[in-house]
Amino acid sequence: NYLNVEYLPSSSYYSIKDYKTNEDVIPFDSNTKLSLDGNGNYFNFRMSTLQKERMYKILYKVVSGSNVYIFDDNQFSFKVVK
Contacts of 75 (CB under 8 A, 6+ apart): none
19-29 burial, b at 16+ Cβ within 10 Å, e below that, comes to: eeeeeeebebe
pTM: 0.85
Q: 4-52, pLDDT tens digit by residue?
A: 778 888 899 999 999 999 999 999 999 999 999 988 899 998 889 999 9
